[in-house]
Structure 1
Amino acid sequence: MSQPSAGAQSPFKQPKAVWAVAFACVVSFMGIGLVDPILPAISADLHASPSQVTLLFTSYLVVTAVAMLVTGFVSSRIGAKRTLIAGLALIVVFSALAGTSGSIAGIIGFRAGWGLGNALFIATSLAVIVASASGGLSGAIIAYESALGLGIAVGPLLGGLLGDVSWRGPFYGVAVLMAIALIATITLVRPQPKPARKTSIADPIKALRHRGLLVMSLTALCYNWGFFTVLGYAPFPMHLSALRLGLVFTGWGLLVAVFAVFGAPWLQRRLGLARTLYFNLALFAVDVAVIAIFVNSQATLIVAVIVAGVFIGVNNTVTTQAVMMVAPVERPVASAAYGFVRFIGGGLAPFAAGKMAEHANIHVPFAVGAAAIALGIVVLAIGHGDLTRAERNQAEVDAEASGGGPDAEVTEAAEAGSGSGS
């Protein structure tokens, strides 16, 4: 199992370019939880059913998933910085347009455009952070996951505060903040070297022939099904105002951030990568099962949703590190393949949850979510040997980084590019 690198620099001592991209990451990942507090308000104001409103998640994440297949093609030709800028610009435009929309169909469409920008951004943001960050590969990932966790935590709070005035407010708020992030990226981030080989659109699909990458991707699909069932549908049975929903999901997001940055490394040092993943997924499945059983108890539902942040935070960091090490292909290709599969699961889950609740009862979607996470453990066990190799590779990279010598793996990640997320 990997041990902490004694000589590694603090992941929080970073150049301005890292903080510029990290700020953009914060705002980008606000988009995940931003709409949670306003889902019931949009449903009531636009006379849409819960399953129609959950399409705000589906259009956003499914488009993100499909677009992941072309992000490597784009970034390997125009460079990481220009890809970042294009993604940020699209998010600014489509989040503002979502705020002006007068129909649920319009918001769903604009969220799809937002998803395209999100794919371009997240597919290259980690690569830029790795290229610019100090503290080695693990330090860069922790800095990235800190931004991710903060964005997930702040998104619901912003959504609740602005959504308490109008459901349009959160969309305009993201547009303004992302415009600031766009300016910071243009000003502070240096152009990154293009990879030696240009990526084709078919490369990510071909990469899924590698067992380790396929196993991690399918595990993430199962995990994300449970994750986005909770995130996309739990606001409806809570029966809270936009502000109170925002506070609930802010508590959830804070636990995501804390356990992504501190909890995951602590568990990984003591249990190792594979055991941490098994243990964490098992507890998350139990938590979602509790939601399924006690969904009509408002207090139990709120507590279980907040506690879910612990397991999501750990999974985000550990899975990111595993995927970056497990695939025997270029990291942008592995990232695109992995992102495509996992975001499909995350995108379909909220809409499926709404339909299951409409045709059966409110318990069913969460029971299916818990079963999906449990299935992910079974899938993960198939690739246990690959996880062991990934753990050894990560230990070697961290050892090289802490020794102060040239880190070939980190350099490769910086030049090639990668993506991450929940």
Structure 2
Amino acid sequence: MSAKPNPVPPVTIAEEPSILKQPKAVWAVFFACIIAFMGLGLVDPILPAIAKQLDAAPSEVTLLFTSYNAVMAVAMLVTGVITSRIGMKYTLLSGIVIIALFSGLGGLSNGIWELVFLRGGWGLGNALFVATALTAIVTLSNSGNAKAIILYEAAIGLGISVGPLIGGWLGAMSWRGPFLGVATLMVIAFIGLTTLMPRTQSAGGTKRKKTSLADPFRALQHRSLLVLGIAAALYNYGFFTLLAFSPFVLGLDEHGLGMVFLGWGILLAITSVFMAPKLQKWIGTVKSMCLMLTLFAATLLAMGIWTSAQWVVIAAVIFAGALLGNNNTLITTAVMNASPVERSTASAAYSFLRFLGGALAPFLAGKLAEIFNSSMPFYVGAFFVLLSVVFVWMNKKHIMHVDEAEAH
């Protein structure tokens, strides 16, 4: 299906009000996002410790990411249905409660399979929160849609960067510490949102149209959204290969892993806010995405070639943060401009495909390492990321209107 004119106002970055001039409700969601995404980074420094203390293989421990992403992918399809019926505020609060409950229970568990199951429940809460948080920030922001997306990506970056530092500190005491820490932080986020976020979320005070389960699948009939979703699934395979498997080859303790992923997350946060808009303006969204993905594939390839060289892997992980920060903002902005469907529906459809890739990678990375060697997961990750570049370039005629929207 060829691209149709997009009746949804395009997302642009330049010449909009300051990103810092936001209502209190936006900042409440922003800080809750930071805490929610701390949960992703908090687990990284303790993966080897979990494997050792629960007598689990790396392929079993990486299931903590697989169950999380798989449940999140499926749950993304129902977030719009739930939000359109109970409103953004209560959807966000429901997600926070579920995250707090399952992370807390995870910290009290005693077996790897019990922990994998509870991590899936955490993914359900995260799906409700994450998908709705993006829509909430875009809806409530007064600085323009593009800068609202940048604010959202900045919250992700800050959460992912601070998470490993706290995870390494708590994990050095016990692998249970980060799980219980997330539960405590989500209680704080719950109080903040309950206090600062208004009940009526719809723009202009209008009642939002109820969505159905079929809407995300209908949205994927738009070739542009389908192309970006498949590309994101391929790219996310590489993303979660790095995130879930690299802790097993770095040979560092909890504090060391926390510091490495702190550097990774800081670069991710900085580039998503400051560098991505400049790339978008200089060479366009599609070309910038392809450039970042090509460099990321090369980085994973280097990690595969020099897996035994600790300093190379450390440098590659930290450098990858810059590439991932840029690409996350670029591809999110592209999705918002990709099709004429409502943005929350587009986000749900795209996120479903995106997290499917993130669900496959962690488990397969562990299995590939067991069957072949520790380099093979990075080679396969590099292949899939490079495949995403080829796929985008082969289908660029379906998504070039994204750059036209940016130009306008």
TM-score strictly above 0.5: yes
1:5 matched to which residue of 2?
Answer: 14
Cα deviation for residue 200 of structure 1 reads 1.1
Preserved contact between residue 93 and residue 193 of structure 2 (Cα < 8 Å)? yes
User: Aligned pair 1:217/2:229, yes or no?
Assistant: yes
User: Aligned pair 1:180/2:188, yes or no?
Assistant: yes
1:143 to 147, 151, 154: 151
Structure 1: gaps (5+ residues) = 397-422
Aligned pairs for 1:186-265 (under 5 A) are 186-191=194-199, 192-193=201-202, 196-265=208-277
1:377 matched to which residue of 2?
Answer: 389
Give the direction of change, closer, same or farther, for the CA distance of 1:302–1:121 in structure 2 (3 Å limit).
same
Task: Please list the CA deviations of residues 245-300 of structure 1 after superposition, one character each: whole Å capped at 9, or x if unmatched.
Answer: 00001100001001000110111111111111111111111011000111111111
Preserved contact between residue 37 and residue 159 of structure 1 (Cα < 8 Å)? yes
2:51 to 43, 52, 55: 43
1:353 matched to which residue of 2?
Answer: 365
2:7 matched to which residue of 1?
Answer: none
SS in 2 for 1:77: helix
Task: Please list the CA deviations of residues 379-409 of structure 1 after superposition, one character each: whole Å capped at 9, or x if unmatched.
Answer: 111331333212222444xxxxxxxxxxxxx
Distance 1:351 1:31 in 2: 19
1:405 matched to which residue of 2?
Answer: none
Give the direction of change, closer, same or farther, for the CA distance of 1:80–1:111 in structure 2 (3 Å limit).
same
Preserved contact between residue 259 and residue 314 of structure 1 (Cα < 8 Å)? yes
* Structure 1, 349-358 or 8-17: larger mean CA deviation: 8-17
Opposite residue 107 of structure 1, the aligned amino acid is L
TM-score of the pair, normalised by structure 2: 0.94
2:400 matched to which residue of 1?
Answer: 388
SS in 2 for 1:164: helix
Cα deviation for residue 367 of structure 1 reads 0.3
2:352 matched to which residue of 1?
Answer: 340
Distance 1:16 1:169 in 2: 31
Q: CA RMSD in A?
A: 1.5
Preserved contact between residue 37 and residue 156 of structure 1 (Cα < 8 Å)? yes
Cα deviation for residue 3 of structure 1 reads 8.0
Preserved contact between residue 158 and residue 170 of structure 1 (Cα < 8 Å)? yes
Percent identity of equivalent pairs: 52
User: Aligned pair 1:273/2:285, yes or no?
Assistant: yes
2:179 matched to which residue of 1?
Answer: 171
Preserved contact between residue 37 and residue 235 of structure 1 (Cα < 8 Å)? yes
Cα deviation for residue 135 of structure 1 reads 1.2
Figure out how many residues of one structure are paired with residues of the other and give that number: 395
Distance 2:98 2:12 in 1: 41
Distance 2:48 2:158 in 1: 24
Give the direction of change, closer, same or farther, for the CA distance of 1:380–1:102 in structure 2 (3 Å limit).
same
User: Aligned pair 1:62/2:70, yes or no?
Assistant: yes
1:364 matched to which residue of 2?
Answer: 376
2:118 matched to which residue of 1?
Answer: 110
Task: Please list the CA deviations of residues 2-48 of structure 1 after superposition, one character each: whole Å capped at 9, or x if unmatched.
Answer: 98533x22212222111110111001111222111000000000000
Opposite residue 328 of structure 1, the aligned amino acid is P
Distance 1:85 1:371 in 2: 39
Distance 2:14 2:311 in 1: 42
Task: Please list the CA deviations of residues 85-120 of structure 1 after superposition, one character each: whole Å capped at 9, or x if unmatched.
Answer: 110110111111110111111111111111000000
Preserved contact between residue 126 and residue 144 of structure 1 (Cα < 8 Å)? yes
Distance 1:137 1:106 in 2: 41
TM-score of the pair, normalised by structure 1: 0.91
User: Aligned pair 1:121/2:136, yes or no?
Assistant: no
1:311 to 323, 339, 348: 323
Distance 1:130 1:344 in 2: 25
Distance 2:140 2:209 in 1: 21
Structure 2: gaps (5+ residues) = 1-10
